[in-house]
């Protein structure tokens, strides 16, 4: 894997990366910088995403991405990995019970629920934290997160849609944003049921 200056615009970026191992990286782009950091931190997962894109592109999608490529793109740009073995917390996450999860079980979340942001667009957005930043997450157990996320992606069926990813309003995690009181978590604009 090498990071190179962008060449002529290629409509099939993913295939170019897959075939050459070269990731076009604009020198003054924070977005590309965070993407490069993700490649370094999660090489297996990023390679799996790239390989799945390259596999799906030739199948033709009528000029549009199919559900699997949508999932891959959303996870690549805005994904997170939740590491948690606490079934009560996972149940609250899956049911979008944000106030109960992040406020009522605050100490338990801090102790037992770890979030690792994967998506490079979310990392860029986090430079200016604000309500509304939401990741799309997968849940893994302890262990190597790169291998685990790559395996999760390898096992999803080709017709899997982005709905397989859990919405996660990252700014609700205890301590991530100021003013996290009961009223904060009752704002349905940001904490959707």
Q: Residue 190: inside a domain, yes or no?
A: no
What is the distance, to the nearest Å, from the Cα of residue 170 to the centroid of all Cα atoms in its chain? 11
Least confident of 53-62, 74-83, 146-155, 160-169: 53-62
Q: Residue 107: inside a domain, yes or no?
A: yes
Q: What is the pLDDT of residues 41-100, one digit of tens each?
A: 999 999 999 999 999 887 766 557 789 999 999 999 999 999 999 999 999 999 999 999
Q: What is the pLDDT of residue 92?
A: 98
Q: Residue 193: inside a domain, yes or no?
A: no
Q: What is the pLDDT of residues 99-141, one digit of tens each?
A: 999 999 999 999 999 999 999 999 999 999 888 999 999 999 9
- Crossing angle for the helix pair 43-56 and 13-20, nearest 10 degrees? 120
Q: What is the pLDDT of residue 58?
A: 76
Q: What is the pLDDT of residue 165?
A: 98
Give pTM, 2 decimals.
Answer: 0.93
Q: Residue 94: inside a domain, yes or no?
A: yes
CA-CA-CA-CA torsion for 10, 15, 20, 22, nearest 10 degrees?
A: 60
* Domain with 98 in it: 2-185
CA distances from 42 to 4, 37, 131, 135, 149 (A): 18, 8, 27, 17, 9
Q: Name the maximum alpha-carbon separation found in the chain.
A: 52
Q: Residue 99: inside a domain, yes or no?
A: yes
Provide the number of structural domains found in the chain. Answer: 1
Q: What is the average pLDDT across 142-156?
A: 96
Q: Residue 9: inside a domain, yes or no?
A: yes
Q: Residue 192: inside a domain, yes or no?
A: no
Q: Residue 25: inside a domain, yes or no?
A: yes
In terms of Cα–Cα distance, which of 164, 76, 88, 85 is closest to 120?
A: 76
Q: What is the pLDDT of residue 11?
A: 64
């Amino acid at each position: 894997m090498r990071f190179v200056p962008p060449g002529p615009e290629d409509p099939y970026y993913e295939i170019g990366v897959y075939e050459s191992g070269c990731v076009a990286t604009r020198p003054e782009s924070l977005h590309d910088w965070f993407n490069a950091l993700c490649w370094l931190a999660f090489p297996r997962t990023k390679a799996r995403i790239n390989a799945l894109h390259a596999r799906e592109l030739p199948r033709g999608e009528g000029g549009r991405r199919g559900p699997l490529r949508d999932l891959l793109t959303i996870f690549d740009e805005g994904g997170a990995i939740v590491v948690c073995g606490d079934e009560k917390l996972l149940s609250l996450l899956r049911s979008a019970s944000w106030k109960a999860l992040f406020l009522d079980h605050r100490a338990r979340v801090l102790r037992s629920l770890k979030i690792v942001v994967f998506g490079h667009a979310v990392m860029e957005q986090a430079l200016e934290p604000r309500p509304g930043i939401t990741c799309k997450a997968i849940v893994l157990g302890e262990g190597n997160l790169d291998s685990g996320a790559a395996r999760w992606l390898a096992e999803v069926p080709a017709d899997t849609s982005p709905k397989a990813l859990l919405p996660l309003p990252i700014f609700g995690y205890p301590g991530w944003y100021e003013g996290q009181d009961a009223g904060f978590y009752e704002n349905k604009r940001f904490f959707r049921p």
